[in-house]
Amino acid sequence: MRFRLWCLVGSLAFATLSPCHAQSASMTLPKQVKAGSPFSIQTTGSGKAVLYIVGFGQVVRRELQLGQTASFSAEDMHDAGHYVAALIGQSSTDNGAFDVVPASQPANLSFLAKPSRLPVSLHDGISGAVYVFDAYQNLITAPTPVSFQLSGTSGITQTRTAETREGRAWTQMDSAAKEGAAHFAVHVGDISSTRIIQQVPGDPCALRMSARPSGQKIELQTEPLRDCSGNAVPDGTVVTFTEAYDGKQTTVDVPLKRGIAQAELPAYNGAKISAATGVVLGNEIHWGKQ
Amino acid sequence: MKRGRLLAIFIVAATAVLIAISVIHPNESAAALADAGTTGLLRPSTTPDAAVENLARDIGQRRWGSAYSKLANKSEFTEADFQRDLTGTYMSLRSYATLDHFEVRPQHASQNEAQELLKLHWSTVVGTFEDTKSLHVVKNGDRWQAEWPLVKEPRVPPQVIPVNYLRWDVIYRGAQDDWGAQDVESPHVRIVDMHPLERGDGVLIMGELLNEDVVPAYVSVKATLLAKSGAAIATEDSFDKISHLLLPKQVTPFLISFPGVELAQVASVRMEPSSSLIAASADPVIAIEDQKLNPAPGASLTGKLVDQSGQVVNVVHVLGTFYDKNGKLVWVADHYMDRALLPQVPASFTIPIPPDIAGQVSSERAVTAIYSSGGFQ
């Protein structure tokens, strides 16, 4: 890449060379410039010249009088990278290179948090990675302290600190034992970014149902379903009721509504009724005479 | 010159004779074959067979008025009732089915009446279904007319059925969101059982898929058969042999067919279950009552579907999972209901089980996938 830049600068210099009788042109370049900072380039010699600064995303052209100082404002050079400068005088050229480095003050964060939804009580289940940028979207490669915080409905906050390496830092957190939306935040200096992690109940820990007659039917109802941490299993979770009798069976898949599942099945004496949700089995009821 | 004139006269005369023959004795078979036996020229209903065939052709061409006019018992119901009996009152597989072909089998006949069996083979987007009608045919004057055995759909009395509506909607990541903003997570699904089987015409992969998540999932399963070298032999997916919508903690069977492949060629199988979020409803709830495994010959799973809600379900797909006495999965089969499922009205179904599998089956589990106008439910 640098070779290409030098070729470009060389071509520019060759193209603009003309017979001249003025003093030779030269310039003094800064070694490093912070993105978004003003800086200047001192030139020597006499006569008119053109200063070219070529970088990966930016080209600047200035016509100037040799011997003057070329000043650049804060907004002129803001893309971090390696820049090549060429001073093309009437009789001679000078060239050099300098680096524009990211500003040291973080201004933007890109925060990736995964997953957006996971069961409660999962060790190292949540991961977060942050990329730190300056105000001009340059990745700040200098080590920067970062703080991750995960706070949920339980009120307990997990905190991890890290230092960026090559502009990024990452961490892993445990999901809380209590369901609900957790705020996963990253802080760098006085800026922060937050993602919402939905912590959802795990598999039901136990499934119990009761039955009562309802005319020609049996009315079945589960107790409120909870996972092993005591969280209510969400509505919509399917409970399968199965009634076996005389070599036949009746099944119905019922979603939980307001925490319980209800179903009506035909009443047969001696029927064996069971319930299951996912891979969790519930109790069995023997209906009527055996 | 004279010879040429004679030839011209001969050609004209032969053409006229052939036209006359074709008018007097029309050849029905060509037309019937061209239309797979559902159309063709109507012939006078001078025999019971002809009367039933004419009726079937009218039905095949959806000439409801003409078919209705041919019935002997049309005073018992209206033309609209007759049409609804064939196409269904509500939108269903029947609404868009076309008559592929029909068979007429005489049962017995006397001077003035006969009994005919009419088998209507309908084709739909998900396969074929068969309608068998036993028709009483009577002679009225010089022609025969069939009595249509109209089956009136049972209806529940008007009423209000309260439903605690439960529904999920999804908001996805938008174009204006920061690239670091995470999208909503796809549902987590898991294959809980998988079993390959070689059948005469290829390899079948059967299994069961569980939605482990707390949100509904649109699911599909893809399988790739791999040879010993690791090269892929074939890749197929479950297509419609699965319930694509899984509510939280719901399990569906799936069946993937690899025709023309031998199990001996297969070293391993790569399974790829996929899931995505879908806006869905937890209703209506369908009970599957009186499920019974009927032994061979004619082994089958029979039962009745009951829509416990107040909503009409346009298409119901019943999937049966069959296990041996050790609980090992041995077969997956399915059946589409050709009529809409009406609230609280039981509808019978039959899922045939192949004779070579039937002996192994000890238990079963049936699930339904339902489609109502407006999408998945």
pLDDT category of residue B374 using cuts at 50, 70 and 90: low
The reply to whether B3 falls in a domain is no
Q: How would you write the pLDDT of chain A (290 residues) with one tens digit per residue?
A: 455 545 555 555 444 444 444 567 789 999 999 998 999 999 998 889 999 999 887 888 999 999 989 999 888 888 899 999 999 988 888 999 999 999 989 999 999 999 989 999 999 999 999 999 999 899 999 999 999 999 987 778 899 999 999 999 999 999 999 999 999 999 999 999 999 899 999 888 999 999 999 988 999 999 999 999 999 999 999 999 999 999 899 999 999 988 999 999 999 999 999 999 988 899 999 998 54
The reply to whether B18 falls in a domain is no
Q: Is domain A108-200 given the CATH code 2.40.110.10 in the classification? A: no
Q: Looking at residue B263, what is its pLDDT?
A: 93
B285:A254 CB<8 A: yes
- Within 13 Å and on the Cβ side, how many CA atoms surround B298? 2
Q: Is the pLDDT of residue B343 over 60?
A: yes
The reply to whether B155 falls in a domain is no
Contact residues on chain A for B210, CB-CB shorter than 8 A? 278-279
A274 Cβ under 8 Å from any chain B Cβ: no
B272 and B315 inside one domain: no
Contact residues on chain B for A279, CB-CB shorter than 8 A? 192, 210
A236:B214 CB<8 A: yes
Q: Looking at residue B50, what is its pLDDT?
A: 92
Q: Looking at residue A11, what is its pLDDT?
A: 54
Q: How many CB pairs under 8 A join A and B?
A: 106
B261 and B287 inside one domain: no
A238:B247 CB<8 A: yes
A235:B166 CB<8 A: yes
A131 Cβ under 8 Å from any chain B Cβ: yes
CATH code of the region A209-286: 2.60.40.10
Contact residues on chain B for A113, CB-CB shorter than 8 A? 182
To which CATH superfamily is domain A2-101 assigned? Immunoglobulins (2.60.40.10)
Q: Looking at residue B32, what is its pLDDT?
A: 40
CATH of the domain at B351: 2.60.40.10
A122 Cβ under 8 Å from any chain B Cβ: no
Give the tokens for residue B230.
């690791």
Q: Looking at residue A4, what is its pLDDT?
A: 56
Q: Which domain range does residue B332 map to?
A: 281-376
Quote the ipTM score: 0.71
A278 Cβ under 8 Å from any chain B Cβ: yes
Chain A, 176 to 235: residues with Cβ < 8 Å from chain B are 193, 195, 200-201, 203, 233-235
Q: Among partner residues A112, A201, A254, which is closest to B182 by beta-carbon distance?
A: A112
Q: Among partner residues A110, A235, A252, which is closest to B179 by beta-carbon distance?
A: A110
- The CA radius of gyration of chain A, in Å to the nearest whole number, is 36
Under DSSP, the state recorded for A284 is: E
B138 and B242 inside one domain: no
pLDDT category of residue B279 using cuts at 50, 70 and 90: confident
Residue found under tokens 């269903």: B92
Instruction: Give the closest residue to A233 by CA, choosing from A209, A207, A252.
Output: A207
Q: Looking at residue B173, what is its pLDDT?
A: 77
Residue percentage of chain B with pLDDT more than 70: 89
B331 and B267 inside one domain: no
- Cis peptide bond upstream of B297, omega within 30: yes
Instruction: Determine the distance in angstroms separating the CA of B369 from the nearest CA of chain A, rounded to an integer.
Output: 11
The reply to whether B178 falls in a domain is no
Closest-CA residue of chain B to A245: B290
Contact residues on chain B for A275, CB-CB shorter than 8 A? none
**Domain C-terminal end among B125, B147, B169:** B147
Name which of A24-28, A114-118, B256-260, B344-348 the model is least confident about.
A24-28
B136 and B242 inside one domain: no
- As for how many domains chain B has, the answer is 3
pLDDT tens, position by position, B51-108 = 999 999 999 999 999 999 999 999 999 999 999 999 988 899 999 899 999 999 999 9
Instruction: Give mean pLDDT, residues B192-218.
Output: 93
Contact residues on chain A for B179, CB-CB shorter than 8 A? 110
Residue span(s) of chain A under CATH 2.60.40.10 come to 2-101, 108-200, 209-286
**Domain C-terminal end among B96, B119, B147:** B147
Q: Among partner residues B168, B248, B292, which is closest to A247 by beta-carbon distance?
A: B292
Cβ atoms of A133 and A109 within 8 Å: the answer is: yes
Q: Looking at residue B2, what is its pLDDT?
A: 55
CATH of the domain at B59: 3.10.450.100
B309 and B334 inside one domain: yes
Contact residues on chain A for B192, CB-CB shorter than 8 A? 279
Contact residues on chain B for A266, CB-CB shorter than 8 A? 289
Q: Is the pLDDT of residue B137 over 90?
A: yes
Strand partners, B272: B222
B230: left (phi over 0), alpha (psi -120 to 50) or beta: left
Q: Looking at residue A129, what is its pLDDT?
A: 95
Q: Looking at residue A96, what is its pLDDT?
A: 94
Interface of B with A (CB under 8 A): 164, 166, 168, 178-185, 192, 210, 212-216, 247-251, 282-283, 285-293, 303, 308, 365-368
- The CA radius of gyration of chain B, in Å to the nearest whole number, is 28
B74 and B90 inside one domain: yes
Count other Cβ atoms within 10 Å, centred on residue A175.
25
- Mean pLDDT, all residues of chain B: 87
Contact residues on chain A for B164, CB-CB shorter than 8 A? 257-258
H or E element, residue B87:
helix B79-87
A258 Cβ under 8 Å from any chain B Cβ: yes
Q: Is the pLDDT of residue B276 over 80?
A: yes
Burial of B270 (0-12, 13-18, 19+ CB in 10 A): exposed
A253 Cβ under 8 Å from any chain B Cβ: yes
